[in-house]
Amino acid sequence: MALALTSENLLVSEVNTTTIDYERIEYVRTMQMSRSEQEILSLLPLYTKVFRGSQQSFRRSYLCCKVARTIADFEGKESVTQAIMEKAQQLYLLPKDRHYH
């Protein structure tokens, strides 16, 4: 049971809005369209270095690298860092890969 220590008006609340930077999103989208597959594949060594203990499919690794590149573009960074790669892995929430025997 929760008790209110101070009285509060339940009909009044603060509305918080987030600002959406549409120009940044458009810029990132144009950057994604201009990137080659080879550029994304060049991130695989960093992915392997960061997550060397895990076994992931090529598809999962490739898509995680794409997410990392998108994050770097959105943040305005030229290269993908280890921290960005780790953030991309956390945001990439597909189910675990199935390894058929």
User: Over the stretch 55-95, which tens digit does the pLDDT of each residue have?
Assistant: 778 888 899 999 999 999 999 999 999 999 999 988 876 55
What pTM, to 2 d.p., does this model score? 0.70
**Structure confidence at residue 101 as a pLDDT band (50, 70, 90):** very low
Amino acid at 16: N
- Taking the mean position of all CA atoms in its chain, how far away is CA 23? 19
Q: 78 and 69 in contact (C-beta within 8 Å)?
A: no
